[in-house]
């Protein structure tokens, strides 16, 4: 299956674990779509877990998923570049015309670095027919309204395991984040099965908003 009929998707992440927390199950499920995950920092500003260990955790997860290619800029911060600087960096190193979609965090987010990455994503599509899809993160505000839900409770991955359990298992590889409240088991399951999910009748899902799609 393909994610929204896309052949190739660029996932822009402010931090290690953003795309994994919000969209990893869909990346696994839609294995006919290729996902390039680009992490723009080694972690958040003022976060004492920022560093190469977080990037190594990402690499450990990426290596388990054949349709995912992950990379990161360096062990730095989003603020190290301006918005224009990030746009120039990405356009220099990535062929934006090869992507059908950009997947990123929404502007309705309490984390300023998530909002900045969203602005970079929109700047990247100014001269292309690349679509934008946003995904829910733990810091996403309630004013963000999803319009696309991916059920992870029934489908299996290439090994025959339920994707729901595969995602939870892989998130446990972020050992540097175990003290964060949203990495507790109860928080992970409530994130994927909140009242919005219950309205769709889905037990465990990821939530997206299709902002702009062509074709």
Look at 126 and 53; give whichever has higher pLDDT: 126
Count Cβ neighbours within 10 Å for each residue of 111-141 and write b for 16 or more, e otherwise: bebbbbbbebbbbbbeeeebbbbbbbbbbbe
Residues 6 or more apart whose CB falls under 8 angstroms from that of 85 comprise: none
Residue 48 has pLDDT above 60, yes or no: no
Confidence of residue 31 (pLDDT cuts 50, 70, 90): very high
Q: Are 101 and 3 in contact (CB under 8 A)?
A: yes
pLDDT in tens, 165-199: 999 999 999 988 888 899 999 999 999 988 777 77
Residue 43 has pLDDT above 70, yes or no: no
- In percent, the amount of the chain with pLDDT more than 70 equals 91
pLDDT at 50 (0 to 100): 54
Can you read off the two tokens belonging to residue 59? 């690499």
Residue 215 has pLDDT above 80, yes or no: no
CATH of the domain at 199: 3.40.50.10320
**Closest C-alpha among 15, 9, 10, 181 to residue 114:** 15
Q: What is the rounded average pLDDT of the residues 104-133?
A: 94
Mean of per-residue pLDDT scores for the chain: 89
Domain holding 151, by residue range, is: 3-212
**Closest C-alpha among 12, 20, 213 to residue 101:** 213
Domain count, the chain: 1
pLDDT at 213 (0 to 100): 82
**Closest C-alpha among 13, 36, 22 to residue 192:** 22
- In percent, the amount of the chain with pLDDT more than 90 equals 66
pLDDT at 178 (0 to 100): 84
């Amino acid at each position: 299956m393909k994610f929204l009929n896309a052949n190739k998707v660029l996932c822009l992440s402010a931090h290690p674990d953003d795309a994994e927390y919000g969209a990893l199950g869909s990346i696994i499920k839609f294995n006919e779509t290729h996902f390039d995950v680009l992490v723009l920092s080694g972690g958040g500003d003022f976060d004492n877990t920022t560093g190469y260990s977080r990037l190594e955790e990402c690499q450990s997860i990426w290596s388990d998923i054949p349709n995912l290619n992950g990379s990161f800029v360096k062990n730095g911060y989003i603020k190290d570049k301006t918005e224009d600087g990030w746009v120039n960096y990405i356009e220099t190193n990535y062929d934006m015309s090869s992507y059908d979609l950009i997947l990123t965090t929404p502007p309705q987010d309490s984390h300023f670095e998530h909002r900045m990455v969203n602005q970079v994503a929109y700047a990247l599509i100014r001269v292309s027919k690349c679509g934008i899809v946003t995904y829910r993160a733990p810091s996403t505000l309630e004013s963000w309204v999803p319009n696309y839900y991916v059920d992870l409770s029934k489908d299996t991955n290439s090994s025959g395991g339920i994707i729901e359990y595969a995602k939870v298992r892989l998130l446990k590889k972020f050992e540097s984040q175990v003290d964060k409240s949203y990495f507790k088991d109860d928080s992970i399951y409530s994130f994927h099965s909140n009242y919005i999910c219950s309205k769709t009748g889905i037990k465990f899902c990821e939530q997206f908003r299709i902002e702009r799609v062509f074709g």
